[in-house]
Amino acid sequence: MSFKLKQLILLIISSLSLTFVSAQHNNSFVGIRFGEAFPLGEFASTDFETGGYALRGKSFGGEAAWFVNPWIGFGIDVSINTFGFDALPYAIDLKENTPEYLSPVQMLSGHYSLATYMGGAYYKLGILPKLNSTFKLMGGLFIASTPDQFYGCEIYMQGKTYWWKTSSVDSKFSFLTGVSLEYKVFEHVSVLLQADFTYSQLGFTYLTTSGAEKYTNYRKIPLFRLQPGINISL
CATH code assigned at 48 = 2.40.160.20
pTM, two decimal places: 0.85
Q: Is the pLDDT of residue 100 over 80?
A: yes
User: By residue range, what is the domain housing residue 131?
Assistant: 3-233
Name, in order, each residue with C-beta under 8 angstroms of 2's C-beta and a sequence gap of 6 or more: none
* pLDDT tier, 215 (very low <50, low <70, confident <90, very high otherwise): confident
What residues form DSSP beta bridges with 80? 60, 115
- Rounded Cα distance between 16 and 55, Å, is 33
Determine contact, residues 107/79, Cβ cutoff 8 Å: no
In the chain, % of residues over pLDDT 90:
82
Q: In terms of Cα–Cα distance, which of 25, 10, 14 is closest to 64?
A: 14
Determine contact, residues 149/107, Cβ cutoff 8 Å: yes
Mean pLDDT across the chain: 90
Domain count, the chain: 1
* pLDDT tier, 234 (very low <50, low <70, confident <90, very high otherwise): confident
CA angle in degrees (0–180, nearest 5) for 65-15-176: 55
Q: What is the mean pLDDT of residues 117-136?
A: 95
Q: In terms of Cα–Cα distance, which of 195, 196, 183 is closest to 230?
A: 183
Q: Is the pLDDT of residue 82 over 50?
A: yes
Q: What pLDDT was estimated at residue 74? A: 97
> pLDDT digits over 150-201, tens only?
999 999 999 999 999 999 999 999 999 999 999 999 989 999 999 999 999 9
Q: Is the pLDDT of residue 17 over 80?
A: no
User: CA neighbours within 13 Å on the CB side: how many for 218?
Assistant: 1
Q: What is the mean pLDDT of residues 92-116?
A: 96
